[in-house]
Amino acid sequence: MKTLVRTLVATTLLGAFALAQANDPKTTIASLDARLAKIGAPKIEGTDTVAGKTVPALFFGSRKINNNFDVVDAVRKEHQATATLFVKDGEEFVRVSTNVLTPEGKRGVGTQLARNAAYTAVSQGKQFCGPIDVLGTAFDACYNPIRDGSGKVIGVSYVGHKK
């Protein structure tokens, strides 16, 4: 009987640990950034139209990220998380690839990163992890600056788990 109880407790604890890992934004952002690194080095190359706006074209290797949703959708599938890639356009960060939906149910491409704690951190080249509002919904989130080969911040990667 004791062995059965120990086995059940161990199984429950392992399951709880796996669930905590699955919903940990730091684990999820590491997964997103690793996916992107496998594609290639980040760079800006020309411009592209996203939601009717002309913005810099963000690439990882030879893959253009603007209006390409395979990576962010894979994060949703694997981690049940929202994910976005922003490109730096002047002083703003514009969503060019996202699985975050607007209240109308459309992908939130073309919208800007709000001027909040995450914006301040990534503008300074730092990671931000913590609670945040994304297009009206509360998330536990992480944001990482995306740097080109010279170290310049050219974008931001984001993941969030709904609270």
Q: For 23-51, what is the mean pLDDT?
A: 96
Only one residue has tokens 């392992």, namely: 14
Which helix (H) or strand (E) segment is 71 a member of? Answer: helix 70-79
Per-residue pLDDT tens digits for 101-116 = 888 889 999 999 999 9
What is the pTM for the complete model shown? 0.85
Beta bridge partners of 131: 140
| Structural domains of the chain ordered from first start | 2-162 (3.30.450)
Q: For 115-127, what is the mean pLDDT?
A: 96
